Amino acid sequence: MNPLRESQLIETRRHFFGRTSTGIGTAALGSLLNPSLFGAEDPVEQVKKIAPKAKRVI
């Protein structure tokens, strides 16, 4: 059997999600520990920059 085809058969959905969950978890933990690494801005500061547009409220 072709080694490439054999490796494709071994790669199941369970293996795929098992491998990728580690990478996604690492990225999530990194963003929680240091948000400036990903260029994130504080959500409160983003809201403060938006100027109010409504003149009246019923």
What's the whole-model pTM score?
Answer: 0.39
Residue with the bigger pLDDT between 48 and 20: it is: 20
> How far apart are alpha carbons 35 and 42 in whole angstroms?
9
Domain boundaries, given as residue ranges, for the chain? 3-49
pLDDT of residue 28: 84
- Report percent pLDDT > 70 for the chain: 69
pLDDT digits (tens, 9 = 90+) for 21-40: 888 888 888 878 876 666 65
Distance of CA 19 to the CA centre of its chain: 16
Residues 6+ positions from 1 with CB-CB distance below 8 Å: none
